[in-house]
Chain A
Amino acid sequence: MGYVAVKGGQDAIENANRLVDYFRWKGRTEPIKLEQARTQMRLAVDRAMGEGSLYAPEHAALALLQVEGDSFEAAFHLRAYRATLERRYEAEILDTRKMHVHRRISSTFRDIPGGQILGPTRDYSFRLLNPALLNASLGSIEKFISDLRDEIDPNKLHEMTTYKKVIDIFLKEGLMSTQARPGEDRRVFDVTREAIKFPVPRSAVLQMLARADTGSLMCMAYSTMRGFGMSHGTVGELRVGEVPVRVKDKRGRLRCIGKIKVSEAEMVGGSGRNQPEAGGRATRKTKAPRYSIGYGLCFGQNETKAICMGMVESALRNPNPDNPANNQEFVLYHTEVIEGYGFTNHLKLPHYVTFQAGMEGARRNARRNAEQEGKPVPVGAGGGEVNND
């Protein structure tokens, strides 16, 4: 019990760590270089940065290598690292109109100002395993890049690198408003500095969704379309590209400190106060805007997350206790990746005291009942109450 067992606990941890290393290295393969992971596992890096709430591609690549590709653990390492960093500046609000666009599509209109740009996407590729990848070499990569370069005619390149937004069409026609809803809480909240309280302001909702687990957000968004919600959002605009980040220096001058790659989704939905699907009968006499935007933004190229975030954000602004995705508490608490991951895994910790307390209670109740009624009572292990740990 005493010292010997303590030694055992520490030894066990050290041995567990060594075994992890053993299983990583026992194949005796060449270690993956950080640069390789960062560039060739691009989307895994992007996802880790988004869920880890830290834009640092090299750190994210290191995290992924360290945890052998586990997306939860990678995000977790970044979050833990992030908590040690002092906040020196607050950036100006990102202007995604200034985005250097890699890809932008809209499904609300056939053609949009500036044009649809498919860009880098696997949306229309066949999901067939490609053994040719195994033959790739630095030589073949070099040839691929130079061939691609040769095809580009520099004289035909667009001058324009930024685009107007699709929502401008809605705004211009008065179908959408930039005004806040009556009673909308527009405080800028910081979820990393304060615990949220309900109802949560929109800024905190957006922050939490931007850090949320991609898979959990997809579950929520999917449920709103499939039968546990009232919406089928439409992609007003989906953009992926690089946005400059600017901070004010001590003299108040704006300084660009670099660019970050983001995915942005603007999901068009009903405005909630005057649903366009409601048979055309306006609930107000004035011409109220009929559409609203569900906004999604996350680090890197993670389109699933941006779209689902937009849909969920839209759903959260129309509370409805019948649907999980329309319930702030349900969505915000349960899509939080680090909390969900940690707590479900804590079940691996010993619970023998808690369990013993339950067993003793159950035995006591059985004894009491047997004494009082003179007949035995079936006893479940753990007692009649919910084990609250």
Chain B
Amino acid sequence: MIENQKFQHSFNYAYIDEYTKKEIRRKTLKAVCIPGYQVPYSSPEMPISRGWGTGGLHVTLSLVGPNDVLKVIDQGSDASVNACNLRAFIKEMSNCAVTFDTAEATLIQTRHRVPEEILTEKQILVLQVPQPEVLRSVERHEAKTRVMHGEADYAKIWVTLYEAYVRSGGLRSGAGHPIMVNGRYVATPSPIPSWDVPNLNMARCLYLFGAGREKRIHCIPPFTRVEPLEFEDIRFKVEEFLGVKCSASGQDKAFMDQIYADDFSSSYVINDSNFLDKLRKGPRPPQKLFTNPA
């Protein structure tokens, strides 16, 4: 019969063993040194599913210490079930403090949103990435896309932007607009809405992108040029939310969720849950407000 002690395994600090954490940190440093370049890394299995934020979790767990203050958001919300789950796991494994307050956090893991509030030099934003390869939609083979990045051969992605314009009249609709990082690598910002893309440019914080299933890390270091791909005459645009106001706060300058009631009528509410909480309490927190190029 099995001895009980076999299953009484105490986990290493922050779950992953030290050698692997060291490896992930070294790959992250490489990603910082080559902005926008996808660095392959080991990507050990986590006790949560692939595609549910394992890449973000690797990066977060390799960085987190007992003095960190952690915030986890999913689609803009601290309340989302998966955000609760990840936050509980990281706290359990690292004994760090947790918060919902964007300004208070030292380490923020997020899925598909950049917080509205301006992030500072003291903060790291870890973005979960489902598909790190921005060229995958135009070239299905990994071996070829790596060569294309090496040669800065981005013709195909420009053509798709042009085709989108011809078909629909706009550059592209949807999340994850491709970005040029530091004038060299075209990368994905992860599927954040276009609203968030201008916030990546010359930001004060460090953006780390972890793609667990695809085993890649890429990075936008602080004060790095990030330009959405656009043509001289056809410009990139963020979501407009024309004539829309938040039904909870009355404000209009933020990314909005459309909420449907039982009678199919719809209203809008600000997506970033902590930002909304702060708006309702008092003065507007510092927010980088951008205007669309005409």
Contacts and interface: CB of A to CB of B under 8 A. Distances in A.
A195 B169 CA distance: 40
A364 B52 contact: no
A384 B173 contact: yes
Chain A binding surface SS class: helix
Interface in B163-179: 164, 167-170, 172-176
B191 A389 contact: yes
A388 B176 contact: yes
Given A194-B42, A357-B193, A368-B170, A342 B84 contact: no
Contact of A193 (B2, B42, B142, B193): B42
A384 B76 CA distance: 24
B269 A350 contact: no
Interface in A192-222: 192-199
B32 interface: no
B17 A86 contact: yes
Contacts of A346: 49-52, 130
Interface of A: 1-3, 5-6, 8-10, 12-13, 34-35, 58-59, 62, 76-77, 79-86, 192-199, 329, 333, 338-346, 349-354, 356-362, 364-365, 368-369, 372, 382-389
A195 B47 contact: no
Contacts of B193: 353-354, 356-357, 360
B186 interface: no
B75 A351 contact: yes
B16 interface: yes
A21 to B, nearest CB: 17
B175 A329 contact: no
Interface string B31-64: 0000000001111111101111010000000000
Contacts of A77: 47
Contact of B176 (A1, A86, A197, A389): A389
A338 B45 CA distance: 8
Q: Which of A85, A192, A340, A350 has the most C-beta atoms of chain B within 10 angstroms of its own C-beta?
A: A350
B122 interface: no
A198 B191 CA distance: 26
Contacts of A384: 164, 167-168, 173
A333 B140 CA distance: 12
Given A83-B45, A341-B49, A388 B175 contact: yes
Interface residues of B, number: 85
B153 interface: no
26 contacts: A1-B277, A6-B100, A13-B85, A81-B9, A83-B17, A84-B12, A84-B15, A86-B19, A193-B23, A194-B40, A342-B50, A346-B130, A350-B75, A353-B76, A353-B175, A353-B192, A357-B191, A357-B195, A358-B175, A360-B239, A361-B194, A365-B168, A365-B169, A382-B174, A388-B137, A389-B112
B121 interface: no
Top 10 closest pairs, chain A to chain B, by CB: A361-B173, A342-B50, A346-B51, A195-B40, A342-B49, A5-B79, A343-B51, A195-B215, A357-B193, A383-B173
A84 B11 CA distance: 7
Q: Which of B172, B174, B188 has the most C-beta atoms of chain A within 10 angstroms of its own C-beta?
A: B174
B78 interface: yes
Q: Which of B46, B51, B193 has the most C-beta atoms of chain A within 10 angstroms of its own C-beta?
A: B51
A179 to B, nearest CB: 26
A350 B74 contact: yes
A31 to B, nearest CB: 15
B49 A76 contact: yes
Given A2-B274, A2-B276, A342-B50, 4 more contacts: A59-B7, A343-B49, A349-B52, A388-B131
B252 interface: no
Given A358-B175, A361-B174, A5 B40 contact: no
Nearest to A360: B239
Interface stretch (B202-210, B222-230, B255-263, B282-290): B255-263
Nearest to A9: B84
A389 B40 CA distance: 20
B165 to A, nearest CB: 10
B88 interface: yes
B45 A13 contact: no
A83 B237 CA distance: 43
B149 to A, nearest CB: 13
Contacts, number: 227
B80 interface: yes
B214 to A, nearest CB: 8
Contacts of A193: 20, 23, 42
Nearest to A367: B242
Interface string B68-83: 0000001111111111
Nearest to A389: B191
A359 B258 CA distance: 10
B156 interface: no
A356 B257 contact: yes
Given A195-B215, A364-B173, A369-B169, A5 B191 contact: no
A334 to B, nearest CB: 11
Contacts of B276: 1-2
A197 B193 CA distance: 30
B104 interface: no
Contact of B216 (A195, A351, A387): A195
Nearest to B11: A84
B218 interface: no
Given A353-B76, A364-B237, A1 B173 contact: no
A35 B3 CA distance: 12
Contacts of B191: 354, 357, 387-389
B175 A83 contact: no
Contact of B170 (A1, A5, A365): A365
Given A197-B40, A350-B74, A9 B79 contact: yes
A9 B86 CA distance: 12
A356 B272 CA distance: 14
Nearest to B45: A79
